[in-house]
Amino acid sequence: MGREDGSAFEVYDMRDASLVSRRVAMGWSGAAVLGLVGGSAWGRQGEKEADRKEPAREMQEMMERSRAFSQRMREAGSAEERMKIMAERNAWERQRAVEAMKESLGFSEPEWAVVKPRIAKVYNLSHPQRSIGPGGAEPGTEVQRRSGELREVLRDESAKAEAIKAKLTALRAAKEKDRRELAAARQSLRQVLTLRQEAHLVLRGLLE
């Protein structure tokens, strides 16, 4: 290698004198070629740098959004306002979890328009959340409601077996209904996935 002051060709001049006339004939075309190659390499390097910066930028935006929610919670003037902010944050986090699958699984925009509703349905069914009411978190699904009813009966030490059996049967029926709905949603999702995408979602627990 030569020096950075433009004398890189001197090394070759000393090894092979024929390269001198060759360099004169070509003028600075060799340097131009090197410049293009270098520019291409720098371009690829720039793309790699951009790829590395993209997750960092997304992480920064996520942290800023999270801090904004925390600030709003501190400034909330009532319990109702805090519940509303909590509901907004939960919805944002769930949406972000779904949207994150677009890039990681390599969906194009047209594909994502078809796949997103199906992924969202499976995600929501497999990750049920409690609704946020004035008094705090409340049962949001039938399974959660039936579970709460069964717990309430079990708190009563004098509850009759018939009452316990009725609540237990209702809970089992609600769970079976959820299992069937989730199985149908998963089957619908599999129909629009490649085998590789399906495998990734199995590892994430979204599919079985």
19 domain residue, yes or no: yes
Instruction: Report residues of the chain scoring pLDDT below 50.
Output: 1-44, 47-48, 50
Q: Which domain holds residue 12?
A: 1-56
pLDDT digits (tens, 9 = 90+) for 77-92: 787 887 787 778 878 8
Cβ–Cβ < 8 Å for 142, 177? yes
State the chain's mean pLDDT as an integer: 75
Question: In CATH, what number is assigned to the domain containing residue 205?
Answer: 1.20.120
38 domain residue, yes or no: yes
88 domain residue, yes or no: no
* Residues 100 and 197 occupy one common structural domain: yes
* Residues 115 and 197 occupy one common structural domain: yes
61 domain residue, yes or no: no
Cα-based angle 197, 199, 205 (whole degrees, multiple of 5): 105
d(C-alpha 87, C-alpha 94), whole Å:
11
* Residues 52 and 147 occupy one common structural domain: no
Domain count of the chain? 2
* Residues 50 and 99 occupy one common structural domain: no
* Residues 120 and 181 occupy one common structural domain: yes
Q: What is the pLDDT of residue 131?
A: 59
Whether the predicted model's global pTM rises above the 0.85 cut: no
